[in-house]
Structures are given as structure tokens and as C-alpha cells.
Structure 1
Amino acid sequence: MIDAKTVPGATLYDTIQLLFNNSEIKYLHIHNSNPGCYNCQIDRITQYNTIISLIKHP
């Protein structure tokens, strides 16, 4: 783990941008405060990843 933040939903987008300013961070795990809290993973998108994704899923 490189970093962690607890933020209200209204500031989530800005916090995602802030965290991805650190080039060492390749993905984020988003959790809710409720039980069963894992929500999703957000991956850093690069031009290379986009090209590979397009090749795999035209």
C-alpha cells in the first residue's frame, strides 16, 4: 500500500485525481463504510493499456 484516504463521496473524483498524481500508484481499491465494503478497483489508464485493450476487445 502506497497511500490511503477516507473521503466523502462528493470529493471522490478529486481524490482519485490527486492519488493518481503519484506515478507509483497503478490502481486504487474503493471501499464503502458499510459491511462488505469493497466496491471496485480503478486502474490507471495509459496509452499502451488502451491499445492492448482495443486489440483484445475490438
Structure 2
Amino acid sequence: MNPADQADDPRPQPPPEPDPGECCGNGCDPCIYDLYNDQLAYYRAALAAWQARHPDT
């Protein structure tokens, strides 16, 4: 894949990790960390798919 094609398919970026102060500690459902873990799982799947499309990177 040439660099121009990679510009149209950028590498996925990990989600920002929540600051410790963002969790209130009251057992919310969903907790900010639950949402982060969902976003992290999506990122990992997107990254694996991207790496399959860009094996030379």
C-alpha cells in the first residue's frame, strides 16, 4: 500500500485513559472505566484489522 492510500486509512488511536478523579467510586453502571474498557476493546479490534490491511507497517 502506498503512502497516499495510508492517508485515507489512518492507524487507529487508543482511547484516552480516564483520570482517576473521573470515577466517583459509587459503583455506577456503567462506570467510566467500563466505558473505557469497551472503547479499548473496540480499539484493539480496529487496530488488528488495520494491521491486517497494512502488514508492512
- Larger Rg, first or second structure (1 or 2): 2
Decide: shared fold, TM above 0.5.
no
**Larger RCO (alpha carbons 8 Å, 6+ apart):** 2
Q: Normalising by the residue count of structure 2, what TM-score does the alignment of the two structures yield? A: 0.22
Q: Normalising by the residue count of structure 1, what TM-score does the alignment of the two structures yield? A: 0.22
Of Structure 1 and Structure 2, which has the larger fraction of its residues in helix? Answer: 2
